[in-house]
Amino acid sequence: MKRVVVCSVIALVLGAGPAAMGSAAAQPPSGAAMDEYVPVADLPPDEQLPAVPLVLIAYGVFWAGVLVYVGTLWRKLGAVQKEMETLKRSLRS
């Protein structure tokens, strides 16, 4: 059950990332931007793609993955330690 919830959250985050960016990335440049070099500062705001949301999404996905991985290792290590204690007790008897 826990695994299903984690997978659902990850799928939701990955699916919401591109939708949150909007359709600005899908639109081709128009006007002067197609004919010659135009500095980003001179482009209208609707044609600029801000990098901050993309970087934050990337860091969020990365750290969520790291936390899931560490949590999984922690849980498995606890199970192994319990099993080793059980084996030690059974060998003593």
Nearest to 16 by CA among 46, 68, 60: 60
User: What pLDDT was estimated at residue 50?
Assistant: 77
Does residue 82 form part of some domain?
A: yes
- As for how many domains the chain has, the answer is 1
Q: Please tell me the number of Cα atoms within 13 Å of 63 on its side-chain side.
A: 6
pLDDT at residue 31 is higher than 70: no
Residue 93: pLDDT band by 50, 70, 90 thresholds? Answer: confident
Number of neighbours of residue 81 by Cβ within 10 angstroms: 10
| Residue numbers of the domain that contains 72 | 51-93
In-domain check, residue 20: no
Instruction: Tell me if 27 is assigned to some domain.
Output: no
Whether residue 88 lies inside any domain: the answer is yes
pLDDT digits (tens, 9 = 90+) for 60-86: 999 999 999 999 999 999 999 999 999
Mean pLDDT of the chain: 80
- The whole-model pTM stands at 0.48
Tell me 6's DSSP state.
H
